Structure 1
Amino acid sequence: MYIILFFIAHWFVSLFVQTFFLHRYASHKMFHLNNFWYRFFYILTYVGQGASYLKPKAYAIMHRMHHAFSDTEKDPHSPHFFEDVFQMMWNTRGQYVIYEKDLEQPEPQFRGDYAEWKFIDKIGTSMTSRVLFSLGYVAFYVVFATQWWMWLFLPFHFIMGPLHGAIVNWCGHKYGYANFDNKDKSKNTTPFDFLMLGELFQNNHHKFPNSANFAKRWFEFDPVYPMLKVMHWCRIIRLRSA
């Protein structure tokens, strides 16, 4: 039971910081954060993603490229140029490392207005940090796993951040329905996107990239948007549209 709860908690905390901080904030600046909450959510992103921590600056650059070149050969992670999701993930990783390590500068249109905390980024992207988090996951399983099949969940903890990105980019550009003609292959995979916290409303998002609510039809529901509204009312964030 503890293993299942731990996996679910890690899944949703990692997914939340990815959609809230990396995607909606770092990439699109859908809302404003004061200095305290900026640092709070930066640290939460590091802890939540753990061994698979994604540098916000690199994430933002690649996501901006994805919007500009959606489903073309210059898209860093379109599923329509790869035989399977693993090839797409490997190609995405190669491009991500370039921007994580600042080996190249992106085109001018994708530069600037980054979310950066060099101290946390240096720790989070270090092999030491990734190994320590990984050992922590293993230790938890050693203590609490009571059945052999529980160990099948362990590998997912090591790649949680990239795994969420792969699901969104593969499924969100291949399966589902489209509300809008975006001149790409973006889809809304499901009208009730609880398991991916609204990230699978890709067709809606590509039409309205700066909208904090990914759901656009009466039957669609983005579970993160009500959370953003509550945070806005509590003055944790300040939504751009408010």
Structure 2
Amino acid sequence: MYLAACFAVFAIAYLLNIFTITVGYHRGLAHKAVRMHPVLRRWVIHGGNWLTGLDPKAWVVMHRLHHEHSDTPLDPHSPVNVGLLGIALEQLRSYKRVIVGLLKNDPAYTRYARDLDFPLNVLNRTNRWYLPYVVHGLVGLGLALSVGWLLGASYFFGMMSHPVQGGLVNSLGHAVGPRNFETSDNSRNNHLAAWLIFGEGFQNNHHAYPGSASFSYHRHEVDLGYGVCVVLEKLGLATINRAYLIPRAQRGAVGVAVTVMAEPHEVEVRS
């Protein structure tokens, strides 16, 4: 029973983290593939940093930089530049550079945020970025002391799991796996990363159709994150931009070439 409780706590914390990132930050704010209800959007913008430890505006800017310079020397996190084992540290360095750039209103970073109608989270504007980690650490410690150390660790590592999630996607998704589309970068479809991180591992599909709320092309490519988007739409909390969805593959289709579609935000960002 105790181990089942630990697993349940980890799963709930992990899912809260990943839903905030993959639906709110990524498909919603970064690519506008999903239009969130104002209540959900406010929760993601103001609460996402507290939940994940990552600023939504900085995350979006870094992700857009990744798409702009994918697998080139300017990519903020590519295994082509730093190897599979170097991704974790490279992610952290790039995130810090983006935060500093946005705080200084550096055009090299602010040009990717022109459509984002909100500032950096107050935690980063006041150099208190560490507070979410402290809060979740104290909650985990409280659970550890009152119930058991494994339960406390399950909570903390589930809630603070995004560096691992991002590391798997940014490394395996650009180094290991097949390709459905002949994109200009080294993006791959890694099924392990996709299953663990709710479709995010289908990087080749995503880079071919960055404005698509769904990251799957073949029917066997299961994108659980898109399933969450569908559920949110049925609940009236989101609207999927179906004009940019990846078309389903015909039976037996492989190696399809595609011209990368413009993302909904690109007109504003690159004007």
What is the rounded CA distance, in whole Å, between the counterparts of 2:28 and 2:120 in structure 1? 17
Q: CA RMSD in A?
A: 2.8
Identify unmatched segments of 5+ residues in structure 1.
none
Would the aligned equivalents of 1:192 and 1:221 in 2 still touch at CA under 8 Å? no
* Residue segments in structure 2 that go unaligned for 5+ positions in a row: 244-271
- Of stretches 186-195 and 118-127 in structure 1, the one that deviates more from structure 2 is 118-127
Q: Deviations over 1:177-198 (max 9, x none)?
A: 1111112111111189332100
Q: Is 1:30 aligned to 2:33, yes or no?
A: yes
Give how far 1:207 is off: 0.3
1:204 corresponding residue in structure 2? 205
Q: Which moved more, 1:229-238 or 1:112-121?
A: 112-121
For 1:29-76, what per-residue CA distance to the aligned partner results, in whole angstroms no more than 9, with x for missing partners?
112223222123335524532xxx111111111111111111111100
- In the alignment, which of 120, 145, 165 is matched to residue 142 of structure 1? 145
Deviation by residue 1:105-131 (Cα, 9 ceiling, x = unmatched): 425752311263656655895323431
Q: Give the C-alpha shift of residue 136 in structure 1.
A: 1.5
Match runs of 1:218-237 below 5 Å: 218-237=219-238
- Matched residue type, 2:170: N
> In terms of mean alpha carbon deviation, does 129-138 or 25-34 score higher?
129-138
State the match for 1:186 in structure 2: 187
3-state SS of the aligned residue for 1:238?
Answer: strand
Cα pair 1:172 1:187 within 8 Å, conserved: yes
User: Could you tell me whether the CA contact under 8 Å between 1:66 and 1:76 is conserved in 2?
Assistant: yes
The equivalent of 1:79 in structure 2 is 79
Q: Which amino acid aligns with 1:172?
A: G
Relative to 1, partners in 2 of residues 1:66 and 1:217: Cα closer, same or farther, differing over 3 Å? same
Distance, in Å, in 2 between the alignment partners of 1:232 and 1:83 is 38
Task: State the alpha-carbon separation in 2 of the partners of residues 237 and 77 from structure 1.
Answer: 29
TM-score, normalised with respect to structure 1: 0.84
Distance change (3 Å), C-alpha of 1:21 and 1:174: same
CA distance in 1, matches of 2:158, 2:48: 14
Taking the aligned partners of 2:193 and 2:132, their CA distance within structure 1 comes to 35
Deviates most, 57-66 or 138-147:
138-147
| Equivalent residue in structure 1 for 2:21, among 12, 18, 21 | 18
The 3 A distance-change label for structure 1 pair 92 and 192 is: closer
- Secondary structure of 2:194 counterpart: coil
Percent identity of paired positions between Structure 1 and Structure 2: 25
Q: How far does the alpha carbon of each residue in 1:133-186 deviate from its partner, in whole angstroms, 9 at most, with x for none? A: 212122222333366xx7875773574222211111011111111111112111
Alignment match, 1:56: 56
**Following the alignment from structure 1 to structure 2, what is the Cα–Cα distance between the partners of residues 189 and 22?**
21
- Normalising by structure 2, report the TM-score: 0.76
Q: Does 1:127 align with 2:127?
A: no
SS in 2 for 1:137: helix
SS state at 2:195 partner: coil
Separation (CA, whole Å) in 2 of partners of 1:64 and 1:54: 15
Query: Is the CA contact (8 Å cut-off) linking 2:144 and 2:153 kept in structure 1?
Result: no
Q: Is the 8 A contact 2:87 2:170 kept in 1?
A: no
The question of whether the paired residues in 2 share the 8 Å contact of 1:180 and 1:204 is answered with: yes
Aligned pairs, number: 236
Output the CA distance in 2 between the equivalents of 1:125 and 1:19. Answer: 24
